[in-house]
Amino acid sequence: MAKKGFIFDLDGVIVDTAGFHYLAWKSLANELGFEFTEEQNEQFKGVSRVRSLDILLEIGGINATQDQKDKWLVSKNEEYLSYIEKMTDADILPGVLKTLNYLKAKNIPMALGSASKNAQPILKRVGLFDMFDTIVDGNHVQKAKPDPEVFTIGADELGVSYSDAIVFEDSIAGIQAANSVDMVSIGIGDPGILHEADHNFRDFTEINSTFLDQLINA
């Protein structure tokens, strides 16, 4: 049996921060004079802050200087951080702790693999900073999902081969990233949106120990 490693995205998988990102981008869009819908927000999931701003400006048909963009990146992140500051362990998504604790008790290597530069403060706020053997986040990667860099670094640091890595993701870009290097991809969210995943669940309450054991023993 090969050694398996589990890699978890953060936003929208472990904590419900996807809604906070949406609110902060929506505020900026409204300030710039256009609407930004939850449906449009789907393509922002898993995408870096800088790239997200470029997509938002494309949606609004706005040309901006680098100085303006830098200012908006700061103001978006400030609003986002104001939501983060109020987070507690109650913001961990349903069923997540049960899964993490189950894997931890079995000594299964676990990594965080997130595009966010705010991953570490968020994990500290919700009390999960010590849960992972390694944390790979937006401060460590050059290439954003769907490039698999965040997951390949995670697997390398866990000491598992890519085909023995299991990735939990709520974004299309993240599922594509995992699939591109033959990792097992598990979509958390709408199966219609995440249909490219190897397995789909609406949330972690649908994931039981039998399924986790199957992944571990495959």
For residue 178, give the DSSP letter: H
**Residue closer to ligand G6P, measured from CB, 193 or 216:** 193
Question: Which of 118, 134, 176, 179 is close enough to bind ligand G6P by CB under 6 A?
Answer: 118
| Position 146 contacts ligand G6P (CB under 6 A) | no
Sequence length of the chain is 218
Q: Cα 173 to the chain's mean position, in Å?
A: 10
Shortest distance (Å) from residue 169 CB to Mg ion: 6
Tell me if residue 164 is catalytic: no
What string marks each residue from 16 to 55 as x (binds ligand G6P by CB under 6 A) or -? -----x----------------------xxxxxx--x---
163: left (phi over 0), alpha (psi -120 to 50) or beta: alpha
Stretch that binds ligand G6P, among 92-100, 112-120, 124-132, 194-202 (CB under 6 A): 112-120
**Contacts of 59 by beta carbon, 8 Å cutoff, 6+ apart:** 29, 34, 36, 40
* CA pair distance 170, 189, nearest whole angstrom: 6
**Residue 165 identity:** A
- Pairing of β 134-136 and β 165-169: unpaired
Site for ligand G6P in 147-166 (CB under 6 A): none
Q: Can you tell me which of 4, 6, 7, 9 binds Mg ion, judged by CB under 5 A?
A: 9
- The one among 53, 108, 115, 165 contacting ligand G6P by CB under 6 A: 115
Which residue in 11, 133, 137, 170 is the catalytic one?
11
Give the active site residue among 9, 133, 164, 170: 9
Neighbours of 6 (CB within 10 A): 25
> Which strands sit side by side in the sheet containing 5-8, from one edge to the other?
134-136, 110-113, 5-8, 165-169, 184-188, 199-201
Using CB under 5 A, which of the segments 1-9, 80-88, 138-146, 176-184 binds Mg ion?
A: 1-9
Enzyme catalytic residues? 9, 11
Binding site for ligand G6P (CB under 6 A): 11, 21, 44-49, 52, 77, 114-118, 138, 171
